Amino acid sequence: MKTLPFLLEIGTEEIPDWMIQPALKHLGELFEGLLKDHKLDGKVSMLEATPRRLVLMAEGLPRRQPSSVELVTGPPKSAGESAAAGFARKLGVEPAALKTVRTPKGEYLAFKKKVQGRATLDILAAELPGLILKIYFPKTMYWTGKGGPRFIRPIRWIVALLGSRVVSFELAGVKSGNVTRGHRQLGKQKIRVTIGNYSSLLRSNFVMLPAWERRLTIQSQADYLFEARGVYVRPDAALLDTLTYLTEYPATLVGGFDEQFLNLPEEVLVTVMRHHQRYFSVYHPDETLAPYFMAVMNAPDDPEGLVRQGHERVLRARFNDASFFWNVDQQKRLDGRLPDLAHVTWQAQLGSYREKTDRVVALVKELGGSAHAQRAALLSKCDLTTGMVKEFTELQGVMGGLYARAQGEPEPVWRAVYEHYRPASMEDKIPSTREGCLVSLADRLDTLRGCFGIGLTPSGSKDPFGLRRAAQGVVKILVEGKLPLPLSKLLGENAELREFLLDRVRYYFRDVRGFKYDEVNAILAAGWDDLADVESRLAAIQAVRPTEHFEPLAASFKRIRNILRQAEFAEAGEVSEQLIEEGPERELYNAFRETSGRVRSGDLDYREKLAAIAGMRPVVDRFFDKVLVNAPDGSVRRNRLSLLGRLLAEFSVIADFSEIVTEGT
C-alpha cells in the first residue's frame, strides 16, 4: 500500500532559544504517541526548529487506519426471538447474521461488526490542535485573551500537509494550510509549499531550517578568522547553541575594540561580551585576549559594515561603563565594605550578608581553615556592594577576588575569594586551593543549615535558594577536594537536611560518577560520614566485583541476613570455641578469624580487604552445604547464629554486601 509523508510547521513569534530543543523533542514524542494511539504506521523523520517555527516531518503514514472487527454483544440467547430481532434491527442486520457466544454468565447473542478505519487526514485534523497545545514550555502566555489557548508565544501560521493535501484545522483563530513565511526582513511572507519543496523554498527565503547547518555556518566562519587574522575564537558550546536558536539565517561579523580596554580584567571583558552582548571572545595564539569580538547576526551579510559599526558602538559604551565601575569600586577597599553588608539582606529571616559572613568565618575556622582561609571568608561577600557586581551580577566572587588581588591580598586569599562560588554546576571545577574549598563549603553549609532550619526546603521544581546546587557543591568539594570532614558534624541534627544531602550523594556517585546503583547502596549503607572515604570504598568494590567469588559471597551475606532476621537474632554474643564442630564450621571460624585479623590490620587497602573477604566464599559455601544452622541443641544453634552475626557485622564495615543485586536474588 502506498504511504504518505506528513509535514507540520507551527509558525510562531520568536520562541526563547533555550526552550526550543526540549519543545521539539516533546513534539516528536507527542506525535509518535498519536500514531500509536490511533494504530497508524509511520515514523517521525525530521524535527527542526528556528526561533519562529517548530517543524515535524513524518513518513510512512497510511491513508486510513486498518479496518478492525468488533464483537458487539446483545441480549442473552434465552431472552427469546423478539429480543434477538430487536438487537438485529439496532445493528441493521438480519437476525440470521447473529452468532451465539459462550460467556461465564451463559450464552449471549453477538455480532461481528466490521469497523472501517478512519481516514488519517481526519484523525490528524481532529488531534493536531490538542497535540500542539500539549507541547511543554516552562512558561506560557495568553494572546487571544483570558481563557484562550496558551502557548509559549503567539501562533501566527500553521502548515499541515499529508501527502499533497492540507490537514485542515483551526487553532487560536489560525487556519492550517500550505503557506509558510520566510525570514522576517529578507524573505517573502506568503510562500506556498509542498512537502517536497518546503525546505528549499525556505532556504531561498533566508531560512536555514536545519540547526546543524546554522551551527556549522557560525563555526566555519570562526575557523576562517584564524586563517585570515591569526587570532582565534575560543569555542563556547553554550553560546553557539544560543545563537543557533536565535537566528534563522546566521552569519558572523568580526568587530574590534580599543586596546586601552585590555587594561580591564579579562573576566570583565569576556562577561560583557558573552553574557550581555552574546559575542564570542577572540584570543591570540598565546591565549591572551585580542581586541576583537565575533558577533552573529540574523542576516547573511553586512556589505556596508553598518551592523559591525553598531555592535562596536554598543560594546564601547558597555566597556566604558565597566571601566567606570572598575575605577570607582577601587576607591574603597574590600574590607572597608564589610559594614555595608549589614544593609544587604541575605534572607529576611536569616539576616544580612554581614551576619552570614560572620557565620562563614567561624565555620571555616571550625573546619580547620588557615588564617588565609578565614581572611578569604571575611572578604568573600564584600563585592556585593561594588558597582561592578551590581551591574554584572554573574561576576560575584570573581570581582571580589580581582579587587582583593589589586589591593595586595596574598594569593591564597584572593584566589579563595575568586573561586568560592565554584562549582557552579556538576560540570564545573571545584576551587583549586584548600582555602577556596573551605570557604565554598562553609558558605554552602551555612545556606543549607539556615534554610532547612526555617523550613525553606526545595519542593518539586521550586528551589529559589539553589539548595540542590549548594548540596551538590558540598558533595563534590568533599569528594574531589579529598577533604576528610565528618558530614554528620557539618550538617547538624536536622534529619530532613541529612536525607536531602544523602540524596545528592547518591545522585553524585550514580549519575555523575557512573557507579552502579547497588554498589552505591551497599557502600552508603556501611556509612557515609566521610565522603572521600566513600569514594575509596566505591572504587574498591567496583574493582573487586567482577572477580569470581564476590557476587556469590554477596548472595551468601544476604542469606545470612535473612537467617538472622528469621531467627530474630539481634545480638551476636561471643562465639564459644568449644561449641564449634570440627569440619566446615571450624574451617569457617578459622577463616573468619584469620580474615578479620587481616582486614583489621592497617596493611591492606580497601581493594585488598574486599578481595580477602571475597576469598572466604568457598568456606562459606561449604558451611551452608554441610552445617545445619538450626541445630537441635539450643546452645549450638545460638553459637552458630553468633558466628554468622559477627561475620556479617565485621565485614559490613566497608560495604553492606546484602545490598548487592546478584543473579537469582
Partner 1 sequence: MDSFQQVLFKLKSYWSERGCVIQEPYDVEVGAGTMCPETFLRVLGPKPYNVAYVQPSRRPADGRYAANPNRLYKHSQLQVILKPSPDDVMDLYLGSLEAIGIDLRKHDIKFEEDNWESPTLGAWGIGWQVMLDGLEITQFTYFQQCGGIDLDVVPAELTYGLERLTAFLQGAESVYDIEWAPQVTYGDVRLAEELQFSVYNFEMADVATLWRLFELHESECRRLLDAYPGYEHKHRFPVLAAYDQVLKCSHLFNLLDSRGAISVTERVGVIARVRKLAVGVAQAWIDQSSREAAA
**Residue 169 main-chain phi, psi, to 5 deg:** -155, 175
Q: Tell me whether residue 187 or residue 401 sits nearer to partner 1 (CB atom).
A: 187
299 forms part of the interface with partner 1 (CB under 8 A): yes
Q: Indicate which single residue of 106, 145, 514, 664 sits in contact with partner 1 (rule: CB under 8 A).
A: 145
- Pair 247, 214: CB distance under 8 Å: yes
- C-alpha cell belonging to residue 195: 512537502
Q: Tell me whether residue 2 or residue 139 sits nearer to partner 1 (CB atom).
A: 139
Q: What is the largest CA-CA distance in the chain?
A: 106
275 forms part of the interface with partner 1 (CB under 8 A): no
Site string for partner 1, 329-358 (x = CB under 8 A): --------------xxx--x---x------
Using the contact rule CB under 8 A, the part of the chain among 258-266, 298-306, 464-472, 604-612 near partner 1 is: 298-306
Q: Indicate which single residue of 60, 86, 154, 163 sits in contact with partner 1 (rule: CB under 8 A).
A: 154
- C-alpha cell belonging to residue 308: 559591525
Q: What are the distances in angstroms from CA 172 to CA 12, 52, 231, 553? A: 12, 17, 50, 65
277 forms part of the interface with partner 1 (CB under 8 A): yes
Give least dist CB 572 to partner 1, A.
58
**Residues 598-617 close enough to bind partner 1 by CB under 8 A:** none
190 forms part of the interface with partner 1 (CB under 8 A): no
Q: Tell me whether residue 304 or residue 582 sits nearer to partner 1 (CB atom).
A: 304
Dihedral Cα 455, 497, 461, 363, nearest 10 deg: 90
Give least dist CB 40 to partner 1, A.
33
Give the residue from 208, 321, 357, 225 showing the smallest Cα distance to 279.
225
- Pair 472, 447: CB distance under 8 Å: no
Give least dist CB 240 to partner 1, A.
15
Using the contact rule CB under 8 A, the part of the chain among 64-72, 153-161, 163-171, 447-455 near partner 1 is: 153-161
* Helix 606-614 with 550-566: angle, nearest 10 deg: 70
317 forms part of the interface with partner 1 (CB under 8 A): yes
**Residues 244-263 close enough to bind partner 1 by CB under 8 A:** 246-247
Encode burial over 467-504: b for 16+ CB neighbours within 10 A, e otherwise. bebbbbbbbbbbbbbebebebeebbeeeeebbebbbeb
**Residues 210-229 close enough to bind partner 1 by CB under 8 A:** none
Give least dist CB 229 to partner 1, A.
21
Q: Tell me whether residue 321 or residue 529 sits nearer to partner 1 (CB atom).
A: 321
DSSP state of 71: E
**Residues 65-94 close enough to bind partner 1 by CB under 8 A:** none
Dihedral Cα 257, 259, 264, 268, nearest 10 deg: 30
144 forms part of the interface with partner 1 (CB under 8 A): yes
Using the contact rule CB under 8 A, the part of the chain among 142-150, 256-264, 493-501, 574-582 near partner 1 is: 142-150
Give least dist CB 340 to partner 1, A.
10
185 forms part of the interface with partner 1 (CB under 8 A): yes
13 forms part of the interface with partner 1 (CB under 8 A): yes
- C-alpha cell belonging to residue 665: 536474588
- Pair 57, 6: CB distance under 8 Å: yes
Give the residue from 57, 58, 56, 53 showing the smallest Cα distance to 10.
53
Residue at 54: amino acid letter: L
- Pair 5, 57: CB distance under 8 Å: yes
626 forms part of the interface with partner 1 (CB under 8 A): no
Which residue shows C-alpha cell 512558561? 139
Encode burial over 114-152: b for 16+ CB neighbours within 10 A, e otherwise. eeebeebbebbbebbbebbeebebeeeeeeeeeeebebb
Q: Indicate which single residue of 38, 63, 153, 333 sits in contact with partner 1 (rule: CB under 8 A).
A: 153
Between vectors from CA 470 to CA 465 and to CA 476, what angle results, nearest 5°?
165
First-last CA distance in the chain: 49
Q: Tell me whether residue 353 or residue 623 sits nearer to partner 1 (CB atom).
A: 353
156 forms part of the interface with partner 1 (CB under 8 A): yes
DSSP state of 352: E
Give least dist CB 257 to partner 1, A.
12
DSSP state of 459: B
Give least dist CB 246 to partner 1, A.
6
- Pair 380, 363: CB distance under 8 Å: no
Dihedral Cα 479, 481, 486, 491, nearest 10 deg: -80
Q: Tell me whether residue 73 or residue 309 sits nearer to partner 1 (CB atom).
A: 309
304 forms part of the interface with partner 1 (CB under 8 A): yes
Work out the burial of residue 571: count CB atoms within 10 Å of its CB; fewer than 13 is exposed, 13-18 middle, 19 or more buried. Answer: exposed
DSSP string of 113-139, one letter each residue? EEEPPPBHHHHHHHHHHHHHHHS--SS
With CB under 8 A as the rule, give the number of residues binding partner 1: 46
Residue 489's SS3 state is helix
Q: Indicate which single residue of 197, 220, 320, 562 sits in contact with partner 1 (rule: CB under 8 A).
A: 320
Q: Tell me whether residue 211 or residue 620 sits nearer to partner 1 (CB atom).
A: 211
**Residues 500-529 close enough to bind partner 1 by CB under 8 A:** none
Give least dist CB 314 to partner 1, A.
4
CA–CA gap between residue 87 and residue 648 (Å, rounded): 72
Other Cβ atoms closer than 10 A to 354? 17
Q: Tell me whether residue 260 or residue 277 sits nearer to partner 1 (CB atom).
A: 277
Q: Indicate which single residue of 213, 321, 358, 529 sits in contact with partner 1 (rule: CB under 8 A).
A: 321
Give least dist CB 135 to partner 1, A.
16
186 forms part of the interface with partner 1 (CB under 8 A): yes
Give least dist CB 230 to partner 1, A.
25
Give least dist CB 272 to partner 1, A.
11
Q: Indicate which single residue of 180, 244, 298, 639 sits in contact with partner 1 (rule: CB under 8 A).
A: 298
Q: Tell me whether residue 270 or residue 487 sits nearer to partner 1 (CB atom).
A: 270
* Helix 517-525 with 495-507: angle, nearest 10 deg: 140
139 forms part of the interface with partner 1 (CB under 8 A): yes
133 forms part of the interface with partner 1 (CB under 8 A): no
Q: Indicate which single residue of 294, 295, 575, 599 sits in contact with partner 1 (rule: CB under 8 A).
A: 295
Give least dist CB 6 to partner 1, A.
26
Q: Can you give the binding site for partner 1, defined by CB under 8 A?
A: 13-14, 16-17, 51, 139, 141-146, 153-154, 156, 173, 184-186, 246-247, 277, 295, 297-299, 302, 304, 306-307, 309-311, 313-317, 320-321, 324, 343-345, 348, 352
